Amino acid sequence: MASWEHLKRIFDIISLIREMIVSFTNDDNEEAARKAKAIVEMEREADDIKEEVIDKLMNSALHPLDQEEIIKLIMTADDIAAHCKSTARKLLYVHSNEVPPHIKEGLKGIVDLLYDEANALRLTIEALVKGTNDVTENAEKTERLEEAIDDARVDLLAQILKWGDMSEHVSDWIMLKEAVENIEIASDKIEDTADVLREIAIMRGKPL
């Protein structure tokens, strides 16, 4: 199913952004740049799949409600990829070797949480497809992880702003701050996607 291929691309992008952050925190700028390029390319592939799905829906015999479910799912999930791409691009403008170690660790920690949240979303999808009764449980797990990311973001932004008072390059702390904001928005979109899946389960009478 094309919509599932779209979601798989998004999960791959989240794995890549996690790998890129590891390279970034290790000051491996060449590898970070390669990962960023791969993220951009994969996000473009996800866009192509999204457009293919929408084109097929326009000419399908699916009930309008079913079409609406698929479109809502794919459009919500697509925002996850877009914000991961923005994160990757912005980090390329940061001098990683000048970022304090505790901020690098905070960045890595928040992306690890994003990866865990994506895994909870994957389990939500699998529960819906298999018709098991843990759709709500996994969807709620994404919500808890989103809240953890939001809390971590506030603390990390405070550290970044404090570092910004003495940073040599203004662009470093500004772009890093913006990248963290994109990570948080991607997290919000994962939670939103899980909510869409829960709505689909309710509408189709699937076990929750």
205 pLDDT exceeds 70?
A: no
Closest CA relative to residue 182, chosen from 208, 142, 205, 153:
153
Query: By percentage, how much of the chain surpasses pLDDT 70?
Result: 92
65 pLDDT exceeds 70?
A: no
Architecture, CATH, for domain 2-203:
Up-down Bundle (1.20)
57 pLDDT exceeds 50?
A: yes
Q: What pLDDT band is residue 27 in, cutting at 50, 70 and 90?
A: very high
200: Cβ–Cβ under 8 A, 6 or more apart, which residues? 69, 73, 128, 206
State the average pLDDT over residues 147-157.
96
The answer to whether the beta carbons of residues 156 and 173 sit under 8 Å apart is no
25 pLDDT exceeds 80?
A: yes
Other C-beta atoms closer than 10 Å to the C-beta of 48 total: 12
Distance of CA 32 to the CA centre of its chain: 18
Q: What pLDDT band is residue 2 in, cutting at 50, 70 and 90?
A: low
63 pLDDT exceeds 60?
A: no
Specify the pLDDT at position 96. 94
64 pLDDT exceeds 50?
A: no
The answer to whether the beta carbons of residues 90 and 182 sit under 8 Å apart is yes
Q: Hey, where are the domains in the chain?
A: 2-203
Whole-structure pTM value: 0.91
Q: Is 134 helix (H, G, I), strand (E, B) or coil?
A: coil
From residue 49, how far is each of 21, 98, 99, 118, 172 by CA, in Å? Answer: 26, 39, 37, 19, 34
Torsion angle defined by CA atoms of residues 205, 71, 18 and 173, in that order, rounded to the nearest 10 degrees: -120
Specify the pLDDT at position 118. 97
